[in-house]
Amino acid sequence: MKKFINPLADRMRPENLKDFLGQEEILGKGKLLNKAIELDQLPSMIFWGPPGSGKTTLAYIIAKKTKSDFKKISAVNSGLDELKEIIELAKQNERFGKRTILFIDEIHRWNKKQQDALLPDVEKGLIVLIGATTENPSFEVVGPLLSRCRVFVLKQLTKENLIKIIGKAIKDKERGLGYFKLKIDKKVIEVLAQMSNGDARTALNVLEYASSLSKNITLDIIKEAFQKSYLLYDKDGEEHYNIISALHKSMRGSDANAAIYWLARMLEGGEDPLYIARRLIRFASEDIGLANSRALEQAVSAYNACHYIGMPECGVILAQVVVYMAKCKKSNDLYVAYEKAMKDVQEYGNLPVPLHIRNAPTKLMKEIGYGKNYKYSPDYDYKEKQEYLPEKLKNRKYLK
């Protein structure tokens, strides 16, 4: 009986960019990161993306491709002492002309003092920092460090990506499960990919556990491996996007009872509460807007609260905001207005700013008419007659 020490998800990590699936937006031909790797001119960088999107794997591949000394630490259980040891090692590597890549998983969990300690050595290029985070680095990484790094956004893997990853793991006899000659229907693989919600690690963990239950993997076994799978949005039940759509439309239709039900379906099915909170922020402006400007405050507060306390405690917080949104007076005026303005921008391109409302910080600008005849609104009790749009869009109305 063949036995493995490492989990399947770890064994099946791609070892080169050719086998790395997804993320064409940052790794496609001619893209900045692709060029940096090929030219061996790596900047320090932050990988921001959802779980299982390949942040750690990509860091490993970069280190191998550039023949760098790769050091990985987790911000959850590592601190300044371990960082100091790596910095000393990096100094030794530098003397021998070898680059050191420091990969910090969940870098958002390091406090300001810990992040600040990275600055001097990142600045000098002693280490190439690769930080991985599932959180917005604008909020979670200190400004001085963020300014010294390139941020690359990794997207959730597609269902098609996951089907390929699962298929390879089933066939691979060296690192995967090929030795066990598993029987699994194409439809079951599709359901597994759908239920994994873009997370390759989840897909492979579930597959590995399912293979320990039976060599003939059925849909029921996959559901058992998922534990709560009867609540997840596979194609035999409600799909993920169908349920978020149901939540959105229930709030738009002011049905608080339906909205709170769909919220519970998502949360109990294992949905990321921050995903729901982000959708609520969008809803606050798209469907409520100026009818109740406090809806946006409620939504942003809910996002922050969910970030601070997580599940299951944040469920009631999202419930509060969902019900609040459902009961709010609705208006899509802002949404419609922005769509109209966006179309004008796309159609007319970079129309010139009218001279009278341009900034005139220099003498030359004033001489050529910047700011000339501008009417200062307070002097006219805010009732001045003055055109603020480009000439081609004069008198255009976006709002009702």
One domain for residues 274 and 377: no
Pick the residue with more confidence: 100 or 234? 100
Residue 57 in this model has a pLDDT that exceeds 50: yes
- The confidence band for 227, taking pLDDT boundaries of 50, 70 and 90, is low
One domain for residues 272 and 346: no
Choose the final residue of a domain: 278, 296, 327.
Answer: 327
Q: What is the pLDDT of residue 234?
A: 44
Q: Count Cβ neighbours within 10 Å for each residue of 294-331 and write b for 16 or more, e otherwise.
A: ebbebbeebbebbbeeeeeebbebbbebbbbbbebebb
With helix as H, strand as E and coil as C, how does the chain read?
CCCCCCCHHHHCCCCCHHHCCCCHHHHCCCCHHHHHHHCCCCCCEEEECCCCCCHHHHHHHHHHHCCCEEEEEECCCCCHHHHHHHHHHHHHHHHCCCCEEEEEECHHHCCHHHHHCCHHHHHHCCCEEEEEECCCHHHHCCHHHHCCCEEEECCCCCHHHHHHHHHHHHHCCCCCCHHHCCEECHHHHHHHHHHCCCCHHHHHHHHHHHHHHCCEECHHHHHHHHCCHHHCCCCCCCCHHHHHHHHHHHHHCCCHHHHHHHHHHHHHCCCCHHHHHHHHHHHHHHHHHHHCCHHHHHHHHHHHHHHHHCCCCCHHHHHHHHHHHHHCCCCCHHHHHHHHHHHHHHHHCCCCCCHHHCCCCCHHHHHCCCCCCCCCHHHHCCCCCCCCCCHHHCCCCCCC
One domain for residues 247 and 322: yes
* Alpha-carbon 148 to chain mean position: 20
One domain for residues 304 and 365: no
In a domain, 303, yes or no: yes
Mean pLDDT of 305-330: 93
- Give the CATH number of the domain where residue 290 resides: 1.20.272.10
One domain for residues 123 and 180: no
One domain for residues 50 and 144: yes
In a domain, 15, yes or no: no
Over residues 87-136, the pLDDT tens digits come to 999 999 999 999 999 999 999 989 999 999 999 999 999 999 999 998 88
Six token digits for residue 209: 């556990």
Over residues 129-179, the pLDDT tens digits come to 999 998 888 888 999 999 999 999 999 899 999 999 999 999 999 999 998
One domain for residues 270 and 304: yes
* Host domain of residue 185: 159-231
One domain for residues 107 and 41: yes
Amino acid at the residue 268: E
One domain for residues 35 and 146: yes
The total number of structural domains that make up the chain? 4
Residue 282's nearest CA partner among 314, 241, 251, 242 is: 251
- The confidence band for 233, taking pLDDT boundaries of 50, 70 and 90, is very low
In a domain, 97, yes or no: yes
Judge residue 184's burial from the number of C-beta atoms within 10 Å of its C-beta, 0-12 exposed, 13-18 middle, 19 or more buried. Answer: buried
**Contact between residue 215 and residue 180 where contact means Cβ atoms under 8 Å apart:** yes
One domain for residues 180 and 145: no
- Give the CATH number of the domain where residue 113 resides: 3.40.50.300
Residue 336 in this model has a pLDDT that exceeds 60: yes
Judge residue 115's burial from the number of C-beta atoms within 10 Å of its C-beta, 0-12 exposed, 13-18 middle, 19 or more buried. Answer: buried
- Give the CATH number of the domain where residue 176 resides: 1.10.8.60
The pTM score is: 0.58
One domain for residues 95 and 196: no
Distance CA 363, CA 229 (A): 69
- The confidence band for 330, taking pLDDT boundaries of 50, 70 and 90, is very high
Angle between helices 273-283 and 315-327 (to 10 degrees): 20
Choose the final residue of a domain: 272, 303, 327.
Answer: 327
In a domain, 176, yes or no: yes
In a domain, 207, yes or no: yes
- The confidence band for 225, taking pLDDT boundaries of 50, 70 and 90, is confident
Least confident interval from 13-27, 172-186, 216-230: 216-230
In a domain, 335, yes or no: no
One domain for residues 244 and 227: no
Over residues 368-394, the pLDDT tens digits come to 889 999 999 999 999 999 999 999 999
In a domain, 8, yes or no: no
Distance CA 103, CA 61 (A): 12
The structure tokens 């990985």 sit at: 72
In a domain, 6, yes or no: no
Choose the final residue of a domain: 185, 201, 231.
Answer: 231
